[in-house]
Amino acid sequence: MKKHIVVIAGDGIGQEVTAVGKQVLDAIAEKFGHEFTYDEALIGHAAIEATGHPLPEETVTKSKQSDAILFGAVGHPKYDNDPSAKVRPEQGLLGIRKALGLYANLRPIKLFDELLQASSIKPEFLKGADILFFRELTGDVYFGEKGRKDEGDTAYDTMIYSRYEVERIAVKAFEAAMTRRKKLCSVDKANVLESSRLWREVVQEVARRYPEVEVEHQFIDAAAMLLIKDPRRFDVVLTGNLFGDILTDEASQIAGSMGMLASASVGDTTGLYEPIHGSAHDITGKGVANPLASVLSAALMLDISFGMKAEAEAVVNAVDQVLKAGYRTRDIADAQTPTDRILGTEAMGRQILNHLSVQVTA
Ligand code: NAD
């Protein structure tokens, strides 16, 4: 199969981990007889430095012409400490999501058994947890009207949702639930927020089309608590942009590290695949970033955008094998990990490639 992929590595460790994700895609193409071609594009701080804009038009054009996007991260400490900066790296990410109509963010949270100890939750509550989050990505308070009044002393951001925005992501989430354990939890704050009442109304309507799916509605505060108390009770979780942003970072701790979690942002056209972590400037350039979230993002791309199930499984199995062999990056190592098993970004990438070639040729 021929596929054209745009690599947007972005800022900080985005560059380091995406290089490994791309190597894994190359290895898969070679082993399974596919032809993947690549283009590169700028975003975030890197794009601001080069063009003055966090999302150059060229990046949007290249992305629209591709079959899928492998994304790294955006962000730079310069902007984190300067809330008044008008041009900001994250505008690049929000902009590309909007430009490509990427309204659904899928985040699978599944713990590799070998990493049970890396989580701050007790293993007996955790073993077997397998959650798929659907976070709405192009609406909500992030895109509603915002501004200042009273000479700047009052600020507002508007939480806003339209029926079609809720319906299209709800359909995707229910479809996914049908292929899993047929359970869906919709998260909102319908006791207080009008936009949440519309959210719940629409989810209830869509639910009628999927009578086999067991549906529950939880308020965001209760959901945040239940996620830690009993993560195994969840199968598919469907939620808005703001609540999803917070819940999925909370859920990342179930998996032990931000460095392990991949995500897919999809709409009706080109999909974008990225680690959930940011540009991590505290470790940028040190060669210690965990590349597995980027590797698992590549696996999601193979599965969701290209329908290459066996290829995606080969990647996930390679990660599993490398962890079983005891290899760790610093963020997922513990006191018991022998020092010769603690690898940097590139060395971890080489282990994945080794296991991939052994596994696929065997
Ligand atoms: P972060 O995810 O970059 O880092 C949080 C912590 O996790 C850091 O201690 C970091 O070292 C660690 N970490 C993250 N990824 C890791 C990996 N692959 N391997 C090992 N350790 C890892 O979040 P932050 O520190 O809050 O933000 C840093 C910058 O990233 C900010 O500018 C922020 O705006 C941006 N950001 C971007 C995205 C994105 O591009 N999708 C997401 C979140 C934050």
Number of domains making up the chain = 2
Q: Which of 199, 233, 255 is the last residue of a domain?
A: 255
Q: For residue range 266-314, what is the model confidence (pLDDT) as tens digits?
A: 998 899 999 999 999 999 999 999 999 999 999 999 999 999 999 999 9
Query: Same domain for 12 and 124?
Result: no
In a domain, 40, yes or no: yes
In a domain, 345, yes or no: yes
When pLDDT is averaged across residues 85-95 and rounded to a whole number, the result is 92
Determine the Cα–Cα distance for residues 279 and 281; give it in Å rounded to an integer.
Answer: 6
Q: For residue range 326-336, what is the model confidence (pLDDT) as tens digits?
A: 999 999 998 88
| Model pLDDT, residue 361 | 47
Q: Is 355 helix (H, G, I), strand (E, B) or coil?
A: helix
Return the CATH number at 177. Answer: 3.40.718.10
Q: For residue range 17-33, what is the model confidence (pLDDT) as tens digits?
A: 999 999 999 999 999 99
In a domain, 154, yes or no: yes
In a domain, 54, yes or no: yes
Among protein residues, the one whose CA lies closest to atom 1 of ligand 1: 278
Q: For residue range 137-176, what is the model confidence (pLDDT) as tens digits?
A: 999 999 999 999 999 999 999 999 999 999 999 999 999 9
Q: Is the pLDDT of residue 360 over 80?
A: no
Domain that residue 350 falls in: 1-109+265-362
142 is catalytic: yes
In a domain, 260, yes or no: no
Query: Same domain for 246 and 131?
Result: yes
Query: Same domain for 298 and 195?
Result: no
pTM value surpassing 0.85: yes
Q: Is the pLDDT of residue 255 over 80?
A: no
Query: Same domain for 303 and 354?
Result: yes
Among protein residues, the one whose CA lies closest to atom 37 of ligand 1: 278
Q: DSSP letters along 143-171, please?
A: TS-EEEETTTTEEEE-----HHHHHHHHH
Q: Which of 235, 255, 275 is the last residue of a domain?
A: 255
Query: Same domain for 93 and 12?
Result: yes
Q: Is 220 helix (H, G, I), strand (E, B) or coil?
A: helix
Length of the chain: 362
Q: Ligand 1 — pocket residues by CB below 6 A?
A: 13, 17, 73-76, 80, 90, 93, 258-259, 277-280, 282-283, 289-290, 293, 331
Determine the Cα–Cα distance for residues 63 and 66; give it in Å rounded to an integer.
Answer: 5
249 is catalytic: yes
| Model pLDDT, residue 82 | 84
